[in-house]
Amino acid sequence: MYLAALVGRIEAEARRRADRRRDVEARWLDDLRQYHGVYDDATLSRIRATEGSAVFVNETMPRTDRFAAKLEDILLPADTRGWTIRPTPDPELDERLNELQGTIADALAGEDADGLPEDERAQYRSLREMAEAEADELADKQRAAQAAADLMARKIDDVLIESDYKAAVRAAIADAARIGIGVLKGPVLSHKPRRRWVQVDGGYALIEDREPRPAVMRVDPWQYYPDPDGAGGGTYERHLMGPRELRKMAREPGVNREAIIAILGQKPRDALPQHVTDLASLTGTQQYVQGDRLYTVWEYTGYLDIEDIKALAVAAGADDVMETMDEEDPANLFDVPIRLWTCQGHVLRIALHPLDSHDDLYSTFSPHPDEASPYGYGIPYLLRDTQAALNAAWRKLMDNSAYSVAPQIIVNKGMVSPEDGKWTITAGKVWSLKGADIAAPNVPPFSAVHIPGHIAELQAMIEMVRQEMDRVVDVQSLQESDLGTMPTQTASGIAMLLTSANVTYRSAAQSFDDQVTRPIVRRLYDWMMQFDDDPGAKGDYLIDARGAQSALAREVLAQNLMTLAANFGDHPAYGNLVRHEALLRMLLRAIGIPSDEILKTAEERSREEQPDPAMMQVEMQREQMQQEAAFRERQLQIMEEELNVRRDTAMSNVQIAQINADARVQVARMAYEEEMMKLAEQLNMSQEQRQAMIEGLREKIASEERRIAAKVASDERKLAAEATMAMRLGRSAGGSV
């Protein structure tokens, strides 16, 4: 009886909270109708009563989605974490390091002093070495603490990756943008099996690891019921489960299987929540909702007194909880935080709070918080009036266009009647005149009244409302505008415009860091300190969530790095001072591109810079051959120069000899002719005899000249042959290299 009353009281509190939140859920439904571009029934009835246009120009969805997408881009960078873990600063250690640095500087100055005795110089040296040794020891301590913090960060990151944390965050951000609240829960034990492929018997087999592990998950805001009064009354979470989900839950450790068997023998008692069918009606899927087959399971996280916990533990068969209660508080003076699952009056599971810190396992985010309740406001709520004004303007525009496109026709039925019996105007229709009114000349059978159009005025009103929507939510549509029409056409100018448009996003991202990221990472750190077996990762650390700061830093840093690379990368004075690889890595990281996928590793660069030994041998042989060829070519040039000198000398000698020979021949000829003349006179020769003797003499002289010329030509040919042979021998030797 006591147990039934206790469980009934717990479930009654859950239903009371659900009833108190009906007004909030009605607002959420209005938000989602507006997000999906659907009129509520009352508005649609008024529109149909006037037979006017029912157009719904949805400006809420793109603004809501743009807000959520930008937050995701800021909070979930592709190449870095949105948080860091670092050792808690030790002021005493930092102060001691500063003192040691001063001691080392003073000792170095003393060692370098001029005229210092050697014994005093040795004292300064000893002091410096002692200070350096202590400073190295303290620096090693700092590095070890940072290494342990890095290991802890990797362990937490592994948990988030296995939990698909980014998908959970995206879903929570979408919830917050649409209805004003997003909920994440963790760390909690996940019993979802981890699948992996292992090699067995030459093949591969899929195995499932069912070991429980910490996880972080998204919670549906419609199923989340915190204490509305903020009085520490715990948190309820509703789970709608079918028979299959209950049977799956029965296989988890610590679950009361007998209670689940009893529940499956009953029909669901609680009616399906109204919001389930309302949400299905927005997308036209209400016919698929089967509420009569869903059981309501309540999960309570909060405080209960020890006697209540003991009664629940006995009902659930949780012996470990009973033992802990006896050790925890024998005098029953304090409440104890627990987690409890109930369904239709049965206790399904009870467990102690997983963390010794007893921190709330739920973290919520609201882009626009409500000071009076735990539920904030989403983008559709902020755009409620402007979206209604926009729809009204568009309906008037459509109605005015329809009314003004053709005139209103006035018919004098006493004068005419349609031949086909239908009082509608169509092309080529025949009308019959009738009665005495035929003779009335001033009364036409038809007249037209034109309704004026106000298209331009309505279009101006629509544009004004659109601008007001941007002002209300402060979500600039700069990304969708034509940047080419802006006055600032430089890259830095556009970057400044984009940064200015992102102020609201950064503020919301900072709120997410404060409300979600930092608390979740802190709880995971507490979990690791409490349950992880690796002592190398444990220590006293600080959690720093930097999603908003890192986003702003990336935008500004990327622009500054590009400016630095362009202006100083190859600067003649400062270029050699820049670490180009570090600069490029920082630039790639700032624009969200993984640097390791683009830049070569040190090993790859080392392999490319280190030549192949075989290629080195070939290169050495090539250089040696080139040196030998150059040497022989130089020898050939020297030999050719020597031969040219010898040839020029020989030619000069030949020419001189030729000149001398010619001169001697000429002198001899003249002397001989003179002697012949004298002899002829003495012999009293006739003129003909003298002439014949002279001709014979000339023939002998010519013969002597030919002999001398032949000898000179022979000498020239011999010299030329020697030069040619030397040149051939030299080129042949060089060509064999």
Interval 149-162: pLDDT, tens: 999 999 999 999 99
**CA 37 from chain center: how many Å?**
32
Average pLDDT over residues 675-704: 68
Could you tell me the sign of the dihedral formed by the alpha carbons of 124, 126, 128, 134, in that order? negative
Q: Which of 57-61, 546-550, 696-700 has the lowest mean pLDDT?
A: 546-550
Q: Mean pLDDT over all residues of the chain? A: 80
Higher confidence at residue 534 or residue 709? Answer: 534
* Highest averaged pLDDT of the listed ranges 132-146, 213-227, 442-456, 590-604: 213-227
Q: What is the pLDDT of residue 241?
A: 92
pLDDT tens-digit series, residues 551-566 = 656 666 677 777 777 7
Sheet with 362-365: strands ordered across: 213-219, 182-190, 362-365
Residue 131 to residue 120: CA distance in whole angstroms: 17
pLDDT level of residue 729 (50, 70, 90 thresholds): low
Average pLDDT over residues 427-456: 75
**Alpha carbon separation from 547 to 378, 475, 489 (Å, rounded):** 21, 19, 29
Q: What is the pLDDT of residue 482?
A: 43
Per-position DSSP letters for 616-674, written without gaps between them: HHHHHHHHHHHHHHHHHHHHHHHHHHHHHHHHHHHHHHHHHHHHHHHHHHHHHHHHHHH
Average pLDDT over residues 305-321: 76
Per-position DSSP letters for 541-570, written without gaps between them: EEEEE-HHHHHHHHHHHHHHHHHHHHHHTT
Per-position DSSP letters for 344-392, written without gaps between them: TTEEEEEEE-S-TT---SEEEE-SB--TTSS--B-HHHHTHHHHHHHHH
Q: Which of 383-387, 427-431, 562-566 has the lowest mean pLDDT?
A: 562-566
Degrees, nearest 5: CA angle 597-600-601: 100
pTM: 0.70
Q: What is the pLDDT of residue 299?
A: 94
Structural domain spans, the chain: 408-449, 503-609, 621-735
**Alpha carbon separation from 353 to 301, 309, 336, 628 (Å, rounded):** 8, 12, 8, 87
Q: What is the pLDDT of residue 92?
A: 82
pLDDT level of residue 61 (50, 70, 90 thresholds): very high
Q: Which of 183-197, 378-392, 426-440 has the lowest mean pLDDT?
A: 426-440
Q: What is the pLDDT of residue 434?
A: 74
pLDDT over 60 at 478, yes or no: no
pLDDT over 60 at 332, yes or no: no
Specify the DSSP class assigned to residue 513: I
Contact (CB, 8 A) for 411 and 449: no
Residue 298 to residue 302: CA distance in whole angstroms: 13
- For residue 696, give the nearest of 708, 680, 713, 711 by alpha carbon: 680
Contact (CB, 8 A) for 452 and 480: no
3-state SS class at 303: strand
* Highest averaged pLDDT of the listed ranges 290-304, 308-322, 366-380: 366-380
* Highest averaged pLDDT of the listed ranges 579-583, 685-689, 728-732: 579-583
Residue 515 to residue 167: CA distance in whole angstroms: 18
All residues at 6 or more sequence positions from 254 whose CB lies less than 8 Å from its CB, including other chains: 316, 318, 349, 351
pLDDT tens-digit series, residues 290-303 = 666 889 999 999 98
3-class secondary structure per residue, 430-460: CEEECCHHHHCCCCCCEEEECCCCCHHHHHH
Higher confidence at residue 6 or residue 574? Answer: 6
Residue 313 to residue 349: CA distance in whole angstroms: 8
3-state SS class at 261: helix
Helix axes 491-501, 547-568, angle to 10 degrees: 170
CB 391: neighbour CB atoms within 10 A?
A: 23
Residue 24 to residue 30: CA distance in whole angstroms: 10
pLDDT over 70 at 503, yes or no: no
pLDDT tens-digit series, residues 100-126 = 888 888 888 877 777 778 787 788 788
Could you tell me the sign of the dihedral formed by the alpha carbons of 590, 596, 601, 602, in that order? positive
Sheet with 335-343: strands ordered across: 224-225, 235-241, 295-305, 335-343, 346-352
Residue 97 tokens, joined: 């390091």
Q: What is the pLDDT of residue 549?
A: 62
Contact (CB, 8 A) for 440 and 426: no
Higher confidence at residue 426 or residue 43? Answer: 43
Residue 473 to residue 379: CA distance in whole angstroms: 7
Higher confidence at residue 73 or residue 483? Answer: 73
CB environment 230-267: b (16+ within 10 A), e (fewer): eeeebbbbbbbbeeeebeebbeeebbbeebbeebeeee
pLDDT over 50 at 733, yes or no: no
Q: What is the pLDDT of residue 672?
A: 67
- Output the CA torsion 613→615→619→621 (10° steps): 70
Higher confidence at residue 395 or residue 624? Answer: 395
